[in-house]
């Protein structure tokens, strides 16, 4: 399995997971169809599934065009059936979803939205976290509670350390400034920020990160308790 990172909209990432044996692929959170179509055309890829982490338009905007063009099936959380149009496959918490040779565990991680899920490919040790866990940050709490978001992040903390994290946006630079402001003496963070700046200078994505790196550097994962976490989330909202 190979993951290709495709930029779309302002600062969204959509991810193409390709089985190199047959060129079958899944696309995660296509905010728009065009950049995905361009990529697929060039590489002769057969799109089979569209995986959505949540219903926000910048994550599903390309769904319908891709579904129509490639007859790909849309996979999403069952409780979001009313707001992710034309879903084909409804999944639920802790389910192992299988399609062709793809296999991912569905983990319900509410907070950003009530129906937010992530796709954990345990064999490949990679996870698609949408707008819940970002590199050096976490998503805004739009529909859920602080407690839900805190619990959701705690679930992700238990994944194997080497798990690669593919998140929904390139927010890492701004996130790094917030982390630096409130966690000045963190040497691991200092090191990661240098790497981030280096990548951005070369116009490369800062994604994927890993659970290991995020545990060491992401201030939201380092919060000691719910109260701490909530304070940080409020500060970040006004940062
Ligand atoms: Zn969102
Ligand atoms: Fe988003």
> Distances in Å between the alpha carbon of 104 and those of 71, 157, 199?
21, 17, 29
% pLDDT > 90, the chain: 100
CA distance linking residue 82 with residue 16, whole number of Å: 25
Q: In the structure, what pLDDT confidence band is assigned to residue 226 with cuts at 50, 70 and 90?
A: very high
User: Which ligand has its closest atom nearest to the C-alpha of 112?
Assistant: 1
Express each pLDDT in 104-116 by its tens digit. 999 999 999 999 9
pLDDT given at position 151: 98
The pLDDT mean for the chain works out to 98
- Does pTM top 0.85 for this prediction? yes
Q: How many Cβ atoms are within 10 Å of 155's Cβ, its own excluded?
A: 15
Ligand closest to the CA atom of residue 140: 1
- CA distance linking residue 28 with residue 16, whole number of Å: 6
Q: How far is the CA of 12 from the centre of ligand 2 (A)?
A: 7
3 state SS for 140-152: CCCCCCHHHHHHH
User: What number is the average pLDDT over the span 12-30?
Assistant: 98
From residue 77, alpha-carbon distances to 41, 48, 73, 106, 125 in Å are 29, 18, 13, 9, 21
Give the position of tokens 């599903």. 60
Whether 17 and 26 have beta carbons less than 8 Å apart is answered as yes
Q: Domain residue spans in the chain?
A: 2-169
From the list 55, 56, 108, 116, the catalytic residue is 56
- What's the Cα-to-Cα distance from 231 to each of 109, 146, 149, 178, rounded to whole Å? 20, 10, 13, 13
What is the average pLDDT across 47-69? 98
- Tell me if the bond preceding 238 is cis, omega within 30° of 0: no
**Mean pLDDT, residues 67-94:** 98
Nearest Cα neighbor of 99 from 88, 107, 109, 108 is 88
pLDDT band at 131 (very low <50, low <70, confident <90, very high): very high
Q: How far away, in angstroms, is 137 Cα from ligand 1 center? A: 14
Q: Determine whether 169 is an active site residue.
A: yes
> Measuring CA to CA, which residue among 58, 126, 123, 63 is closest to residue 89?
63
Q: 58, 80, 108, 116: which is the annotated catalytic residue?
A: 58
For 179-190, give one letter per residue: b (16+ CB within 10 A) or e. bbeebeebeebe
pLDDT at 33: 98
Q: Can you name the CATH fold of 2-169?
A: Metallo-beta-lactamase; Chain A (3.60.15)
Q: Could you report how far apart the first and last alpha carbons of the chain are, in Å?
A: 38
The confidence score (pLDDT) of residue 224 equals: 96
Active site residue 80: no
Decide if 118 contacts 132 (C-beta within 8 A): yes
Percent of the chain whose pLDDT exceeds 70: 100
Residue pLDDT, tens place only, 148-166 = 999 999 999 999 999 999 9
Residues 118, 167: Cα–Cα separation, whole Å: 10
Enumerate residues 6+ apart whose C-beta is below 8 A from 81. Answer: 87, 90
Q: What is the residue whose two structure tokens read 């866990």? A: 133
Residue 96 to residue 104: CA distance in whole angstroms? 6
According to the model, what pLDDT value does residue 111 have?
A: 98
Residue range 202-212, pLDDT digits in tens: 999 999 999 99
């Amino acid at each position: 399995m190979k993951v290709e990172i495709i930029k779309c909209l302002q600062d969204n990432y959509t991810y193409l997971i390709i089985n190199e044996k047959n060129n079958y692929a899944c696309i995660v959170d296509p905010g728009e169809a065009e950049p995905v179509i361009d990529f697929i055309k060039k590489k002769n890829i057969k799109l089979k599934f569209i995986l959505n982490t949540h219903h926000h338009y910048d994550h599903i905007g390309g769904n319908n065009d891709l579904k129509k063009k490639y007859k790909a099936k849309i996979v999403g959380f069952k409780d979001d059936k009313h707001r992710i149009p034309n879903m084909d496959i409804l999944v639920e918490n802790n389910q192992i979803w299988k399609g062709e040779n793809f296999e991912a565990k569905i983990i319900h991680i509410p907070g950003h939205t009530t129906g937010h899920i992530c796709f954990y490919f345990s064999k490949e040790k990679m996870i698609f976290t949408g707008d819940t866990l970002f590199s050096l940050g976490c998503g805004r709490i739009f529909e859920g509670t602080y407690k839900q978001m805190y619990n959701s992040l705690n679930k992700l903390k238990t994944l194997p350390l080497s798990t690669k994290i593919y998140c929904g946006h390139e927010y890492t630079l701004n996130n790094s400034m917030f982390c630096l402001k409130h966690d000045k003496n963190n040497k691991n963070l200092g090191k990661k920020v240098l790497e981030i700046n280096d990548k951005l200078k070369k116009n490369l994505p800062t994604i994927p990160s890993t659970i290991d790196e995020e545990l060491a550097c992401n201030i939201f994962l380092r919060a000691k308790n719910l109260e701490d976490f909530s304070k940080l989330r409020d500060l970040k909202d006004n940062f």
